[in-house]
Amino acid sequence: MQKKKVIVIGCGSRGKTYTDIMKSNFKDDFEVVACAEPIADRRNYIQKTHSIPHDMCFESWEPIFEREKFADLVIIATMDRDHLAPAMAAIEKGYNLLLEKPVAATPEECRMIQKAAEKKGVFVLVCHVLRYTRFFIALKNIIDSGEIGKVMNIQAIESVGDVHQTHSFVRGNWGNSEKSSCMILQKTCHDMDILAWLIGKKCTEVHSFGSLSYFKKENAPKGSPEYCYEGCPVGDSCPYNAEKVYVDMKYGGEGWLDFVATEKVFPTKDDCINAIKNSPYGRCVFKCDNNVVDHQTVNLKFGDDVYVDFAMSAFTEGGRVLRIMGTQGEINAKMNGDQIEIFNFLTRNTRNYDFDSAATDEAITGGHGGGDTGIIYALRDLMNGKVSNSVCEIGESCDNHMISFAAEESRLTGKAINIKEFEERFR
Ligand SMILES: NC(=O)c1ccc[n+]([C@@H]2O[C@H](COP(=O)([O-])OP(=O)(O)OC[C@H]3O[C@@H](n4cnc5c(N)ncnc54)[C@H](O)[C@@H]3O)[C@@H](O)[C@H]2O)c1
């Protein structure tokens, strides 16, 4: 099989992740032939890693689509509000896409991309990476096997994690919805998608409450400066002290936090010190320009009387938790550590799901519980005409994005939203 030629647009955290995986696990399947990225250090890393000729490395995506089509796939991994323009240009040229979530920041823009792709006959695989984790593949298989009967209720928690919240959704890229999108879209379009996938029915109604209550100016400790390094009176007892997070790497561990804060692919300690003095990541978490929620709940009604209560919260250690209640049994599951317990109403026994005996090609380990690698497996297969069960193409993804958009409308208006009526507005 000939290698598929790949263009990557946006070589930050996600663009690097997918192309690194292609290089390490799929070198016979994919070849990265061009990249676009304004930050030189990130662009140079991709150029060097994939031996891309200099004239195929661009500071922005536009020149790529001024050329005749020269590859099989475009990865779009720019920020949320910068998906629409390159996606439309790529589709117009007839490229297939691996598109980061959220598809776009508004319902209208999501449907625009969907319609353009359908008209052109290209595929757009949306990066709902949870679907490719062994954890969620296992849950889907258990439900579909009928072991717990018909699903009646799900309680689901997206435990964002306090440090992740302050890094990404207070100080970082996604803190302000005008620059990115609302949190129930950008963070939990994954969860809305996975719930719809697990249940296998359409969501019909949502109602949501949520607010930004803690990470705001009123709660700033007395005497705290704008930047932690300026000497904060509570610096020793604050878990979000920038020095601890980005210089001592007390909470990150894997280099993900400092990659983002420094904009350097291989940051030094000096780069980290510079970042906490000169970048948004050095700010006091109570004195940022963030406006997205720090906790939110959504009640969802799906077809066939399946009810879900979903919580997204900063005030957690991190990791997804689910309780799935069926007519013949219940599942208690924690994504951290891949723990799934199934209780059977007839036998009154609990069994632990055995991941080792159920392992599949896709269900492997790595970033996002294996989902980052899993989606590249599925992409390779899709490009060779084999569609895995987990694949979420643009139409299904957009339908599930509508649940997030409707939840946000409900949060802002205080009203329950009928999904069918909501969708009609964006046909
Ligand atoms: N699937 C997931 O689980 C997941 C996880 C995290 C982020 N995301 C999504 O992935 C997307 C990217 O997130 P990220 O964390 O990689 O952000 P990032 O900021 O690390 O990367 C985005 C990159 O795009 C570059 N860029 C800006 N303008 C550009 C242009 N004109 N042409 C080319 N590149 C340009 C930026 O310089 C940056 O390096 C976002 O939409 C985000 O919501 C998805």
Beta bridge partners of 302: 203, 306
The length of the chain is: 427
**Ligand 1 binding pocket includes 58 (Cβ within 6 Å):** no
pLDDT, tens digit, 9 for 90 and up, residues 224-244: 999 999 999 999 999 999 999
**Ligand 1 binding pocket includes 99 (Cβ within 6 Å):** no
- The protein residue whose alpha carbon is closest to atom 25 in ligand 1 is 10
The pLDDT value given to residue 356: 78
158 domain-assigned: no
CA 322 to chain centre: 18
Same domain, 119 and 223: no
Pick from 79, 164, 176, 183 the residue to mutate for probing ligand 1's pocket: most ligand atoms within 8 Å of its CB: 79
- The protein residue whose alpha carbon is closest to atom 26 in ligand 1 is 10
pLDDT, tens digit, 9 for 90 and up, residues 249-258: 766 555 678 8
Question: Considering 126, 154, 183, which residue would you say is the last residue of a domain?
Answer: 126
Q: Which atom of ligand 1 is nearest to the CA of 60?
A: 32
Same domain, 119 and 222: no
- Give residue 78 CA to ligand 1 midpoint distance, Å: 4
Question: Considering 282, 311, 334, which residue would you say is the last residue of a domain?
Answer: 282
Asked whether the predicted pLDDT for residue 362 surpasses 50, the reply is no
The pLDDT value given to residue 253: 52
82 domain-assigned: yes
Question: Considering 262, 282, 302, which residue would you say is the last residue of a domain?
Answer: 282
74 domain-assigned: yes
Burial of 305: CB neighbours in 10 Å, binned 0-12, 13-18, 19+:
exposed
The CATH number of whichever domain residue 106 belongs to comes to 3.40.50.720
62 domain-assigned: yes
Same domain, 14 and 118: yes
Asked whether the predicted pLDDT for residue 200 surpasses 80, the reply is yes
Mean pLDDT, rounded, for 285-313: 98
Same domain, 10 and 116: yes
Coil, strand or helix at 129: helix
Mean pLDDT, rounded, for 308-335: 97
Name the H helices within 281-415.
371-383, 394-413
Domain extent, residue 252, equals: 217-282
pLDDT, tens digit, 9 for 90 and up, residues 54-64: 999 999 999 99
Name the H helices within 51-202.
84-92, 107-120, 134-145, 162-164, 183-186, 189-199
183 domain-assigned: no
Cα atoms in the Cβ-side hemisphere of radius 13 Å centred on 5: 10
- The protein residue whose alpha carbon is closest to atom 40 in ligand 1 is 79
- Give residue 184 CA to ligand 1 midpoint distance, Å: 18
| This prediction's pTM | 0.94
- Give residue 100 CA to ligand 1 midpoint distance, Å: 8
Looking at mean pLDDT, say which of 257-261, 285-289, 362-366 comes out highest.
285-289
Report the share of the chain in percent with pLDDT over 70. Answer: 96
Q: Which atom of ligand 1 is nearest to the CA of 263?
A: 39
Mean pLDDT, rounded, for 371-391: 92
Amino acid identity at 419 = I
Between residues 248 and 170, the one the model is more confident about: 170
Asked whether the predicted pLDDT for residue 427 surpasses 90, the reply is no
197 domain-assigned: no
Pick from 78, 171, 189 the residue to mutate for probing ligand 1's pocket: most ligand atoms within 8 Å of its CB: 78
The pLDDT value given to residue 260: 86
407 domain-assigned: no
The pLDDT value given to residue 210: 98
Pick from 43, 45, 100 the residue to mutate for probing ligand 1's pocket: most ligand atoms within 8 Å of its CB: 100
* Contact between 102 and 174 (Cβ < 8 Å): no
As for how many domains the chain has, the answer is 2
**Ligand 1 binding pocket includes 186 (Cβ within 6 Å):** yes
